Amino acid sequence: MFDETIPIKATKDIVIVRQKGRELAILYSFSKAEQTRFATALSELTRNVLTYAESGTCSFLVKSANRKSIIIARIVDHGPGISDIKLALQDGYSGGSGLGLGLPGAKRLVHSFDIESSPGYTQIDISISRTIR
């Protein structure tokens, strides 16, 4: 089950989502670099929600067992949806006026990245994981 859900409605929420992701990464002893990568991916996805859907949510889920920790963030909105996911994931593709690096950039920064989208709904799950040796 995902725990507390953070609303995404205004620019300040980018910072809130980013900080929550970083806090969890710190709590589960991810490296400084991983903390920053996760936080940066969260920023981009949160920014897209504000730009393309106006509002949405971000929920976090942590699974920690048998020396393995995984932090999952689920970003959901009820905007127009992403009609061509493959295209949206290409470097430099922007349906708006952005640089088109948000989605592909975020994908490169995390360990897993899954998009589900249809008109009126977009859900993006990202995760980072680590194993204690």
Region of 115 (left: φ > 0; alpha: ψ -120 to 50; beta: rest) is: beta
Q: How many helices (H) and strands (E) does the chain have?
A: 4, 5
Shortest Å distance, C-beta 129 to Mg ion: 24
Nearer to ligand ADP, 15 or 26 (CB): 15
Residue 80's binding partner, choosing from Mg ion, ligand ADP, none, with beta-carbon cut-off 5 to 8 A by kind? ligand ADP
Give the footprint of ligand ADP on residues 18-57 (CB under 6 A): 44, 48-49, 52-53
Residue 130, token pair as written in the block: 């680590």
What are the backbone dihedrals phi and psi of residue 45, each rounded to the nearest 5 degrees, phi first?
Answer: -70, -35
Least distance to ligand ADP, CB of residue 28, Å: 27
Are 71 and 92 in contact, with CB atoms under 8 Å apart? Answer: no
Residues that bind ligand ADP (CB under 6 A): 44, 48-49, 52-53, 77, 79-82, 88, 93-96, 98-104, 122
